[in-house]
């Protein structure tokens, strides 16, 4: 069961699976995103997700938006491979 860190502002209630990490070049700055099926985490929270390649990652959410049930989170840190 994924856990949030002490710095989190929201609890991750359920495992996030099938997530798709992406990175965009925004005005010369590399910005990481992850897309998955909701719910939407709060800004500042730390999430763990299993990507479609089967690897578990951990990341900190900067901002989120939900469109048609798909959540896209901009990340302020990570994703990093989650080590147990």
Near other proteins by CB under 8 A: residue from 3, 15, 17, 80: 80
Q: What is the DSSP string of 27-70?
A: TTEEEEEEEEESPPPPTT-EEEEEETTS-EEEEEEEEEEEETTE
Candidates 7-15, 36-44, 45-53, 64-72; binding stretch for other proteins (CB under 8 A): 45-53
In angstroms, rounded to a whole number, what is the distance separating the alpha carbons of residues 2 and 67?
24
Q: Give CA separation, 21 vs 6, 7, 35, 74, 81, in Å.
A: 24, 22, 6, 10, 12
The binding track of 47-66 with respect to other proteins, each residue x by CB under 8 A or -, is ----xxxxx-x---------
Q: Which is nearer to other proteins, 4 or 35 (CB)?
A: 35
Give the contact letters, 4-33, x = binds to other proteins (CB under 8 A), - = no: ----------------xxxxxx--x-x-x-
CB 75 to other proteins: min, Å = 8
């Amino acid at each position: 069961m994924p856990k949030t860190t002490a710095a989190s502002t929201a609890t991750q209630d359920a495992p996030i699976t099938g997530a798709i990490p992406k990175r965009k070049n925004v005005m010369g700055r590399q910005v990481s995103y992850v897309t998955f099926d909701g719910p939407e985490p709060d800004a500042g929270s730390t999430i763990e997700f299993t990507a479609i390649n089967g690897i578990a990652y951990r990341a900190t959410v900067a901002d989120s938006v939900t469109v048609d049930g798909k959540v896209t989170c901009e990340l302020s840190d990570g994703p990093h491979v989650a080590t147990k």
